Amino acid sequence: MLVRLHPRASHPGLSRTLAVPLAELEHAVAKDKLTGKALTDFFLEKMLADPMTRLVMQADGVAEQDLRGLYSPRSDQRQAEQDHPSKMGEPRRGRITDVSGPRFGSARPGIGE
């Protein structure tokens, strides 16, 4: 994949193009220039601060830890395991893997089924 880098103010005529393998691009994480934190952290904090998001999470039975787990760097490894189930071991005990729709006891039955 080709990624075009826009010229900087210090070098207005210099535009660059990088050739990046698609597999590497999936693991790229944009970082804030000022703090060095991943931009997914800012996105997650802003999303969790939204009262409407909290209401939907409560209705669907989704905990804050669930979302933080999805956006954590370790979730990339879990996603790779889901993409290649033959490389995984037995499913963990007490964990249901093929369930779609709302969680048990959700106030919104039928949504997502």
Cβ contact 108:61 at 8 Å: no
- C-alpha 62/C-alpha 68 separation (Å) is 11
Report the mean per-residue pLDDT for the chain.
74
State the residue for tokens 């790779």: 80
Domain ranges (residues) in the chain: 30-77
Radius of gyration of the chain (CA): 20
Q: Is the pTM of this model over 0.95?
A: no
Strands 16-19 and 2-5: what pairing?
A: antiparallel
Predicted confidence at residue 84, as pLDDT, reads 56
Predicted confidence at residue 99, as pLDDT, reads 54
- Mean pLDDT across 67-94: 61
Per-residue pLDDT tens over the stretch 14-51:
888 888 787 776 666 777 777 777 777 888 888 999 99
Length of the chain: 113
Q: Which DSSP symbol is given to 85?
A: G
- Mean pLDDT across 48-72: 91
Predicted confidence at residue 57, as pLDDT, reads 93
Residue (of 63, 56, 71, 74) closest to 112 by Cα position: 56
